[in-house]
Amino acid sequence: MKQSISYKFTIVLLIIGFMVAVQYNSMKQPEIRDTRDIWAIRQELAEEKKLHSELLSEIRELDRTLSTYQSMNEQNTGKALSETVDKLRQRAGITDRTGPGIVIDVKPSPESIAYGIPITSIAPDLLTRFVNEVNRFKGIDMEIDGKRYSILSSIREINGWTTVNGLNVSTPPFKIKIVSSTISESEKLYNYLLASSIHDDFYLDNLILDISKPVKDVVIHGMAEKYENLYLEELPKGE
């Protein structure tokens, strides 16, 4: 009888000891903490605020467009709609654009030329990183090796060649043209690119960026591809 009681008491003590050990271990392990410094957190916060500001600007622009349509008669509404279509065509990169901007020459580095290192097509991920750097600035239009880059564009590797909109990008040297809304914005972009670490990324691929100073008139061409309306139809008048 005593052995049975002692056996049960031992089992209870083992269970209690196990539970205490688990509780102690869970209290001992620290919570996962954010180990980033204050500047990294401030940088992320600044990016989120910038995105929030851009979204608010787009909402205000859409509200103004809607208000314009509602306040106009039928004839003026058609004119406003036509102007909106023109803006969308420009944003999609279908139309030509001339304005203040910079021209960038993507060239082989002097060392690669001196040592006879062969230069192949620019890597698609490198070109994408450059585009992402430039897209920090809003209201710009870009042309890469004569190919218009817009919100509809894509950078891919096809059969070993880097392409923009499905068209091969030439083996360096080639030019990248960027047009901004004002000469002041072009100067900001120019200074930003001069100090950007993107130069190191290009240099690792035996390439350099030769960035010209901002000029008043840079011409970039619209996309060669034409977009057709496949689904919308104009209703007869009176319907």
The residue that leads in pLDDT, 109 or 17, is: 109
Q: Is residue 86 part of a domain?
A: yes
Task: Give the whole-number percent of the chain exceeding pLDDT 90.
Answer: 38
* Paired sense of beta strands 147-149 and 155-158, if any: unpaired
Q: Both tokens of residue 103?
A: 């021209």
Contact in structure between 140 and 178 (CB atoms under 8 Å):
yes
Q: Is the pLDDT of residue 124 over 90?
A: yes
Tell me how many domains the chain contains. 2
Whether the per-residue pLDDT at 109 is higher than 90: the answer is: yes
Q: Do residues 206 and 122 both lie within one domain?
A: yes
Q: Does residue 199 sit within a domain?
A: yes
pLDDT tens digits for range 189-214: 999 999 999 999 999 999 999 999 99
Task: Give phi and psi for 131, each to the nearest 5.
Answer: -60, -40
| Residues 63, 139 within the same domain | no
Q: Give the confidence band of 150 by pLDDT, cuts at 50, 70, 90.
A: confident
Model confidence at 147: pLDDT above 80: yes
Asked if residue 182 has pLDDT above 90, the reply is: yes
Confidence of residue 1 (pLDDT cuts 50, 70, 90): low
pLDDT given at position 122:
94
Residue 72 shares a structural domain with residue 118: no
pLDDT band at 177 (very low <50, low <70, confident <90, very high): very high
What domain range is 63 assigned to? 38-91
Share of the chain above pLDDT 70, in %: 66
The predicted pLDDT at position 24 comes to 61
* Residue 9 lies inside a defined structural domain of this protein: no
Instruction: Give per-residue pLDDT as tens, 21-62.
Output: 666 665 555 555 556 667 777 777 777 877 777 677 778 777
Q: Are 99 and 181 in contact (CB under 8 A)?
A: yes
Q: Report the chain's C-alpha Rg in angstroms.
A: 30
Give me the pLDDT at residue 233, please. 64
- Residue pair 141/150 in contact (Cβ under 8 Å)? The answer is yes
In our burial notation (b when 16+ CB lie closer than 10 A, e otherwise), range 61-98 reads: eeeeeeeeeeeeeeeeeeeeeeeeeeeeeeebbbeebe
Write down the pLDDT at residue 120. 85
Q: Give the helix, strand, coil percentages of the chain, each rounded to 5.
A: 50, 20, 35
- Answer whether 223's CB lies under 8 Å from 96's CB: no
3-state SS, 30-43, equals: CCCCCCCCHHHHHH
CA distance 208 to 109: 5
Establish if 229 belongs to a structural domain.
Answer: no
Give residue 171's pLDDT: 92
| Residue length of the chain | 239
63 SS3 class: helix
Do the domain assignments include residue 195? yes
Lowest mean pLDDT among 61-65, 112-116, 184-188, 223-227: 223-227
pLDDT at 30: 52
Angle between helices 124-134 and 183-195 (to 10 degrees): 130
CA distances 214 to 28, 74, 146, 156, 186, Å, are: 60, 43, 19, 29, 6
Q: Are residues 158 and 197 in the same domain?
A: yes
Let me know whether 192 and 121 are in one domain: yes
pLDDT at 152: 78
* Domain annotation covers residue 125: yes
In a domain, 169, yes or no: yes
On whether both 101 and 208 belong to a single domain, the answer is yes
pLDDT band at 223, cuts 50/70/90? confident
